[in-house]
Amino acid sequence: MSPTLLIADDEALLARVLAAELSALWPEARIVSVVHDGVSALEAARAHRPDVAFLDIRMPGMSGMDVARELVEADELPPLVVFVTAYDQFALEAFERAAVDYVLKPVQHERLEATVARLRERLAARSAAPPSAEPEPAAVDANRLAQLLHRLEALENPPPQRGVTPGPGPGSGQFLRFIKALVGQEVRIIPVDEVIYLEATDKYVNVVSANGEALIRTSLRELAQQLDPDRFWQIHRGTVVNIDCVASAVNQSLGRVSLRLRNRDESLPVARQYAHLFKQM
């Protein structure tokens, strides 16, 4: 069966060049869609379920990283992902360590040829696996991609430097000590030490603490950047948990993980790209 390819790049000329190079290097492959923004890339991936997705990291609407994250979280058998990037060498080390392929802009024939060879091998390994073992190669690919996304997020959003006196303010080098939330007619002061987890809900973040829940009008990303990254771990696109409140990590099928909390009934799902944080916990 011919492998299917998706190309997403906001520069139409570069997308055409990449498509032409792939057609020459991989004649048996079939390009099912060429799009120029992240939202279209996600829609095309869901519609065509390609074997390989070439994703430009910088695209309007959604970045290639955002698209890859959606595919990994939502699909039991996500496509192999190749990032098309203009990142410098420092950032490219993250790609190498995660064993996830990338193509530099402008497209380099030799690099693309090596990438196609690796993709052929990995797709062949998927096809050769017996039905009972089929999820395993996919889980390996998803874990590689998850590690890369985690590293790139760290490069783009470095944790704040530790300060002597904790206090509020993103980029100030200090960690947040209290969260102020409007509950009814009063402003509740919630010590960060009492926060169990934070959950994004539409335009708000739900702050779940030992004394109840409260909504604050801020983004989860903005809030997370003010918290101690050693204590507050991102476990899902919309969830940050206080690791001190986690009792155990439960391994489920296809490499999925959920967290049991201390003294609480609910459990929290861990997105695939963060599951490696809880291995051998």
pTM over 0.75: no
Residues 58-75 pLDDT 10s: 888 788 888 888 887 765
Mean pLDDT of 170-194: 78
The pLDDT of residue 50: 95
Q: Which CATH superfamily is domain 4-156 in?
A: Response regulator (3.40.50.2300)
For residue 48, pLDDT over 90 is answered with yes
> Any idea where the domains of the chain sit in the sequence?
4-156, 178-278
The pLDDT of residue 198: 95
The pair of three-digit structure tokens given for residue 227, joined into one six-digit string = 């918290």
Confidence class of residue 94 from pLDDT cuts 50, 70 and 90?
A: low
The pLDDT of residue 87: 63
For residue 201, pLDDT over 60 is answered with yes
Q: Using an 8 Å Cβ cutoff, are 161 and 177 in contact?
A: no
Confidence class of residue 172 from pLDDT cuts 50, 70 and 90?
A: very low
DSSP 162-204: P-SS----TTTT----EEEEEETTEEEEEEGGGEEEEEEETTE
Q: Report how far apart, in Å, the C-alpha atoms of 82 and of each of 95, 158, 170, 181, 276 are.
A: 10, 24, 33, 42, 21
Mean pLDDT of 145-163: 54
DSSP state of 230: T
- The CATH class given to the 178-278 domain equals mainly beta
In this predicted structure, which of 62-66, 114-118, 168-172, 268-272 has the lowest mean pLDDT?
Answer: 168-172
State phi, psi for 185 to the nearest 5 degrees: -105, 5
| Identical topology for domains 4-156 and 178-278 | no
Residues 3-17 pLDDT 10s: 999 999 998 989 999
Question: Which residue do the tokens 């380099």 mark?
Answer: 108
Mean pLDDT of 117-124: 91
